[in-house]
Structure 1
Amino acid sequence: MHMTRTNDATPSLETKTASSGEVAGAFDEFIATFEAYKDSNDQRLAQIERRSAADVLTEEKAERINHALDAQQRRLDELTRRAARPPLAAGRTGEGISEHKDAFAAYIRRGEERNLRLCEEKAMTSASDPDGGYLVPDELDSEIGRRLADLSPMRAIATVRQVSGAVLKKPFALDGMAVGWVGETDARPQTATPQLAELQFPTMELYAMPAASASLLDDAALDVETWIASEVEAAFAEQEAIAFISGDGVNKPRGLTDYPSVADSAWSWGNLGHVATGSDGGFGLDPSDRLIELIYALKAGYRQNGRFLMNRSTQAQIRKFKDADGNYLWVPPAGIGQSASLMGFPISEAEAMPDIASSATAIAFGDFRRGYLVVDRTGVRVLRDPYSAKPYVLFYTTKRVGGGVQNFEAIKLLKFAIA
């Protein structure tokens, strides 16, 4: 159970934004640190070339700067998200929207249900249920979705579908679509009946339970919608980020690494193809060759929108590598809000991806927009509970989410194994 208690001294409703100067300063600092890292790593590699081992002090210095880069990257990502986040109140118009907002605020602050129930009845909302909670205003629902896209790496790069039912069913042809060429006036020959199968993406309940004191709710300065969004975003995003990578599909989405993988030469639908590094738990003698093999295991149609997915620890190791011409394989972001790149393709960080270890599939490469599907059932619910944790008021907040691979050709994995 996720529960955050908010006291009056440090209310978490405050929405902090980052100035453009602060973001620019953090970016310049990050680039300067990377230049220092390259100098230190070049010295380390030169020592290895001269005497087959680097000086201990040089190794430690390079590793310290590498860790500093990670910390600065985290800070830069957070500042960029805060600077780009729009105010929740922007664009709010219309009597119905204002009425729903006011009714929702009255429910959150004082537990008044009548006006909120009337609003949902007016909107013909079949999901209105005092026992299960009330739907948040549409704008707040959208804002939670935007914040999750900022914080949940897979959601940001995958296809996201909104559904009104509990399950999204997606048919596909086992042998591909039957196609052919004909002249303008030629008869169209009958094609063979395709063999169809079905992928199912059920939505599962994800919940958070923020808490507030009665005095905080009485505070007229409290922006109810912003408070709810800020309280649930981290809890939802953390659970989603894990489920989309390693979820087993039982009461949660099915994650990328939960699907079986086979050597790419033996690939078949329903499996993800992998390329082995040839070294158990390592990259082998030439990391750039392994990465090139991974990139070109993907068909050209997917490769043009390809990107890497890995955790921060794996990325830290890759920063050390150079190609045959002495150029670093990892390149820092070209500008604020952009991604670092590896061999010309952008990198997305997902901390739930496995670390490099024996037989681990620690790096994925693919067109994730076509390869992975996130399914959101419309509507976020909030149920007010002033009884279970007196003197605090709990807000049981739920949304329904599903996910899984929708195209097994569009994603390949790098497996740290001999074969």
Structure 2
Amino acid sequence: MTQTQSTPALETKVAGAPANGDLTGAFDEFMQAFEAFKDANDDRLTEIERRMAADVVTEEKVQRINTALDEYKRVVDDLALKAHRPGLEHGGGDAGRNAHAGEHKAAFQAYVRKGEAHNLTALEAKALSVGSDPDGGYLVPEETEAEIGRMLASASPIRAIAGVRQVSGSVYKKPFATSGAATGWVGETDARPETAAPTLAELQFPTMELYAMPAATQSLLDDAAVNIDQWIAEEVQTVFAEQEGAAFVNGDGVAKPRGFLDYPVVDDGSWSWGSLGTVATGVDGGLPASDAGDVLIDLVYALKSGYRQNAHWVMNRKTQAEIRKIKDADGNYLWQPAAQAGGAATLMTAPIAEAEEMPDIGSDALAVAFGDFRRGYLIVDRLGVRILRDPYSSKPYVLFYTTKRVGGGVQNFEAIKLLKFGVS
């Protein structure tokens, strides 16, 4: 595919491509778009080397293809998410537990479809549910809660790479040692001196209430062919994922999780526990004009080797579009597309998590994060998703006030580093 053929085709097809929803076709077109991007960007870099500036037409062409490439990536990601979405599980496990689960599911169906709550009330009273409160809604069946969790893990970029812990209380407390116990080498028959006790501190992760309010018509609820559990999971997934994504990145910890960008930051050379280390690009609001890849290498090696093995890049699409143009000293692009549909693009072999809540490149912006988020950032889910049926507030629609409690924050300040687009 030549450049002259690729650009018009990309611009005309990308708005709705691929119309047939074919994942394989969408991925093939995405790879063709990437090849067209590389050709156009190579021309731009050649013009810069020859004339110290790229032609305006070439710059615009690169930007158009870059934008189209992002759109193809979004289409591929959406199709891959739908293709790999599991259905709700049924059966299996202990017979007694299955009987209770079946009873709960039947009672929940009656409540959602017809507003009959007496069976759910009796079940929760019999189970001595913690915090059972009909005025605050009823617990959804376990398989529905599990489905919501699976969908969130697929749709929420930070949740997909962070550590996740489920708790039954409202606050998760995690102790950590601020000074390790005294240790040393001793001979086989030498006396073992008593070691000093470590000094402990505590991190707290309170869970906050997150809600969604999907609406349904009564005719939809009366339709026996509609899988109500699947419908609820799909309706709340997008809202929950958007709110979580924003909080895990920028949340201030007030009635929401605390995002990793809300913590104090300091130049990595002066790093101390309780803050996140930064590496500066050396250019206010941008990357260096030459050897831009060097600052990315500096960021990678600011992280200790134990955290680099499972590290991810975190940035938004606009930032990724700029970094996509960078080559190494041998002329190879540092950014590479996923090897297969549904996979993650990589930067210097580490996968990229696209979080649109990350800031754009700008003066002193912390637009790129790199680290082992599984060890660095903790998401705390309180068990139980609750639903309150409301047939009155928005007639003729039935509203379902759906809530879950989520917390989050940095648990290991060594495991995440930030790229600062500033002089120092």
Band of TM-score, shorter chain: over 0.9
1:224 deviates by 1.0
Aligned residues of 1:246 and 1:255 also touching (Cα < 8 A): yes
Q: Which runs of 5+ in 1 are unaligned?
A: 1-17
- SS of residue matched to 1:394: strand
Taking the aligned partners of 1:181 and 1:227, their CA distance within structure 2 comes to 61
Q: Deviations over 1:144-193 (max 9, x none)?
A: 01100111111000000000000001111112354433455554321112
Taking the aligned partners of 1:178 and 1:162, their CA distance within structure 2 comes to 33
Spell out the pairing of 1:221-300 with structure 2 (5 A cutoff).
221-285=225-289, 286-300=291-305
1:127 deviates by 3.0
Measured at CA, do residues 61 and 307 of structure 1 come closer, stay the same or move farther in structure 2, by a change above 3 Å? same
- SS of residue matched to 1:174: strand
Amino acid in structure 2 at the alignment position of 1:65:
I
1:299 deviates by 0.6
Aligned residues of 1:170 and 1:198 also touching (Cα < 8 A): yes
- SS of residue matched to 1:281: coil
Out of 342, 359, 365, the position equivalent to 1:360 is 365
Amino acid in structure 2 at the alignment position of 1:128:
S
Out of 119, 129, 132, the position equivalent to 1:128 is 132
Spell out the pairing of 1:5-24 with structure 2 (5 A cutoff).
22-24=22-24
Q: Which residue of 1 aligns with 2:311?
A: 306
Q: Which residue of 1 aligns with 2:85?
A: 85
Measured at CA, do residues 184 and 42 of structure 1 come closer, stay the same or move farther in structure 2, by a change above 3 Å? same
Out of 147, 153, 157, the position equivalent to 2:151 is 147
- SS of residue matched to 2:88: coil
Spell out the pairing of 1:402-417 with structure 2 (5 A cutoff).
402-417=407-422
Moved over 3 A (4+): 89-93, 176-188
Q: Deviations over 1:203-224 (max 9, x none)?
A: 0000011111222211222211
Q: Which residue of 2 aligns with 1:59?
A: 59
Spell out the pairing of 1:99-114 with structure 2 (5 A cutoff).
99-114=103-118
Amino acid in structure 1 at the alignment position of 2:345:
A
Q: Deviations over 1:364-385 (max 9, x none)?
A: 0001000000000000000011
Q: Which residue of 2 aligns with 1:211?
A: 215
- SS of residue matched to 1:155: helix
Which segment drifts farther, 248-257 or 188-197?
188-197
Q: Which residue of 2 aligns with 1:169?
A: 173
Measured at CA, do residues 236 and 291 of structure 1 come closer, stay the same or move farther in structure 2, by a change above 3 Å? same
1:123 deviates by 2.8
- SS of residue matched to 1:396: strand
Taking the aligned partners of 2:408 and 2:188, their CA distance within structure 1 comes to 43
Taking the aligned partners of 2:149 and 2:177, their CA distance within structure 1 comes to 32
Taking the aligned partners of 1:265 and 1:281, their CA distance within structure 2 comes to 21
Taking the aligned partners of 2:258 and 2:403, their CA distance within structure 1 comes to 19
Taking the aligned partners of 1:219 and 1:402, their CA distance within structure 2 comes to 36
How many residues align structurally? 401
- SS of residue matched to 2:179: coil
Taking the aligned partners of 1:297 and 1:264, their CA distance within structure 2 comes to 7
Aligned residues of 1:383 and 1:397 also touching (Cα < 8 A): yes
Amino acid in structure 2 at the alignment position of 1:391:
P
Aligned residues of 2:361 and 2:421 also touching (Cα < 8 A): yes
Taking the aligned partners of 1:124 and 1:223, their CA distance within structure 2 comes to 28
Aligned residues of 1:248 and 1:258 also touching (Cα < 8 A): yes
Taking the aligned partners of 1:301 and 1:284, their CA distance within structure 2 comes to 29
Taking the aligned partners of 1:337 and 1:270, their CA distance within structure 2 comes to 35
Q: Which residue of 1 aligns with 2:46?
A: 46
Percent of aligned pairs with the same amino acid: 67
Aligned residues of 2:300 and 2:308 also touching (Cα < 8 A): yes
Which segment drifts farther, 352-361 or 86-95?
86-95
Q: Which residue of 1 aligns with 2:339?
A: 334
Measured at CA, do residues 21 and 390 of structure 1 come closer, stay the same or move farther in structure 2, by a change above 3 Å? closer
Amino acid in structure 1 at the alignment position of 2:398:
V
Which segment drifts farther, 141-150 or 80-89?
80-89
Amino acid in structure 2 at the alignment position of 1:410:
A
Amino acid in structure 2 at the alignment position of 1:66:
N
Aligned residues of 2:388 and 2:402 also touching (Cα < 8 A): yes
Taking the aligned partners of 1:307 and 1:109, their CA distance within structure 2 comes to 43
Q: Which residue of 1 aligns with 2:198?
A: 194
Q: TM-score, normalised by structure 1?
A: 0.93
Taking the aligned partners of 2:180 and 2:29, their CA distance within structure 1 comes to 50
Aligned residues of 1:127 and 1:135 also touching (Cα < 8 A): no
RMSD: 1.7
Are 1:98 and 2:108 matched, yes or no? Answer: no
1:391 deviates by 1.6
Measured at CA, do residues 41 and 360 of structure 1 come closer, stay the same or move farther in structure 2, by a change above 3 Å? same
Taking the aligned partners of 2:137 and 2:191, their CA distance within structure 1 comes to 59
Measured at CA, do residues 176 and 350 of structure 1 come closer, stay the same or move farther in structure 2, by a change above 3 Å? farther
- SS of residue matched to 1:226: helix
Which segment drifts farther, 216-225 or 120-129?
120-129
Q: Which residue of 1 aligns with 2:30?
A: 30
Q: TM-score, normalised by structure 2?
A: 0.91
Q: Which residue of 1 aligns with 2:356?
A: 351
Q: Which residue of 1 aligns with 2:224?
A: 220
Which segment drifts farther, 166-175 or 54-63?
54-63
Amino acid in structure 2 at the alignment position of 1:87:
G
Amino acid in structure 1 at the alignment position of 2:39:
D
Q: Deviations over 1:47-84 (max 9, x none)?
A: 11111122222111111110111001111111111111
- SS of residue matched to 1:131: helix
Q: Which residue of 2 aligns with 1:70?
A: 70
1:320 deviates by 0.7
